[in-house]
Amino acid sequence: GAVVSQHPSWVICKSGTSVKIECRSLDFQATTMFWYRQFPKQSLMLMATSNEGSKATYEQGVEKDKFLINHASLTLSTLTVTSAHPEDSSFYICSAPPVGHTASGANVLTFGAGSRLTVL
């Protein structure tokens, strides 16, 4: 089946540093990648949608200069949290709709394993 590899699984960093999270589609081409953030006991919140070869689309309220998204190729999308602060501590998850993996015509998202970021 379709697999999205996400790393690092967890990262602890000091306030003010930048952290890069990578998501790779291993056996399919991901022209689109969704980036979510999830705080404890809360819903998945879509941050942005990256598209290979074009600029990412950010959701309202998400700072594009703070959360840099790059979709470098059909198999790699990255999220860089710049100048991280404790309030950025969260679970970040990427997901992609692999072509051909459908349920009654709908694209079923394949999720990466998630990256837990803790900013001290």
CA 116 – CA 103 distance, rounded (Å): 29
Candidate residues 13, 68, 76, 109; the one interacting with other proteins per rule CB under 8 A: 109
Q: Which stretch binds other proteins (CB under 8 A): 13-21, 62-70, 77-85, 108-116?
A: 108-116
Q: Which stretch binds other proteins (CB under 8 A): 13-21, 63-71, 80-88, 90-98?
A: 90-98
Counting contacts by CB under 8 A, is residue 93 touching other proteins? yes
For residue 88, the one-letter residue type is D
What are the DSSP E strand ranges found in 26-104? 32-38, 45-51, 54-58, 67-73, 76-81, 90-96, 102-103
* Residue closer to other proteins, measured from CB, 67 or 112: 112
DSSP β-ladder status, 54-58 and 45-51: antiparallel
Residues that bind other proteins (CB under 8 A): 6, 34, 41-46, 91, 93, 95, 103-106, 108-109, 111-114, 116
